[in-house]
Copies of this chain bind each other. A is one copy, B any other.
């Protein structure tokens, strides 16, 4: 740890706690005031540290916070991307401490957004502060911190198109992923895409008494289970026609290389209380979460879900279903295949409506670039060992957009752990990860400036 980080770490944490206390949930409109508060907090911090042109940029949705420090136009420019919005905290009753009252336990910060992404995004702001205060900033910096990542960055594409000129840079730097462990650093070189759908089935035009009508009408809840159950076969293959058509084929050599990453299936199952793992036949657990696409029900509801019993056949049944995609699949095409297929398999007597919530493209990052080399050197220096390149199962839709719109590759220096429980109750982020992240980010600037010359 650098002296500066060591001397200021308590203040760094106090500031992060203030940010974590703002319930800036983007999936639910009722948190709009908190979205604005979180954006204002980031803008204030950037100003304090000495960023220029700090602006809370309005969009059709939640604002993007922009700020920059151009120390010399001849130097390379790093653009930091992150997000200040968070996932909903529910089910709140499963949290051991209130999701928006950051709590420290066993060296971890427990709060919604601690790891995804407030904690990780804030490392970049503090690394910037450290370099400014110590006059070690070796590159120009631009910050682009958005508020809609958890709802698919629906308005960032438009923002980037409008601001193309302001957003010129040499590389995008993102900390919104994870690493294997503090002992085994890793860099994310791949992300899965995402297609998030909602299905609404309608049977009878009103809720019915299950005694008077049971057996004579199609029950949309029963129908929904049939429709969803049919989407996977007994080997865990997804049955949507054309779903696998464009899936990237990975060579056995590459699969063997990936298999070298340290992993204990027993520890994995134990951590989740699982007697048995599950997944597509013919692939390992790590492959199932990285190089293979998936289909998961994220939400299911209909009928009477309260206390006790109600003998009803509901008029409607609902499901939220998302698919993770791998290179060469496009989310628009998959969403369309999904919609067509669902419409084709819905049983008689049921009407169906399929809606696309949002999507994102899968990405793979080249490992032979200057920026990757710089990141590699930064980890090696900070951790004392070379990082392992890994593909993450998660999605950051914006990464593909950066490449497409700005022609920029991204470096994903994530410092979270799988056990951080992002999107779950009791989300956490290790204080050690937070501080190590700041240190490693500073080293990235150092090496990047040199290698980019």
Contacts and interface: CB of A to CB of B under 8 A. Distances in A.
Contact of A278 (B152, B211, B217): B217
A298 B207 contact: no
Interface SS of chain A: helix, strand, loop or mixed?
loop
Given A210-B322, A229-B226, A392-B211, A310 B87 contact: yes
A30 B325 CA distance: 46
A396 to B, nearest CB: 9
Given A226-B229, A422-B212, A207 B91 contact: yes
A28 B308 CA distance: 7
A348 B215 contact: no
A299 B288 contact: no
Task: Tell me how many chains of this kind the complex includes.
Answer: 2
Interface string A214-228: 111111011011101
Contacts of A276: 218, 348-349
Contacts of A347: 278
A306 B27 contact: yes
A221 B349 contact: no
A324 B210 contact: yes
13 contacts: A151-B309, A208-B424, A212-B394, A213-B289, A215-B293, A218-B278, A221-B299, A274-B349, A276-B349, A300-B300, A301-B305, A304-B320, A305-B320
Interface of A: 26-29, 87-88, 90-91, 94, 151-152, 178, 192, 194, 196, 203-219, 221-222, 224-226, 228-230, 232, 236, 272-280, 285-286, 288-289, 292-314, 317-318, 320, 322, 324, 347-349, 357-358, 392-395, 418, 421-426
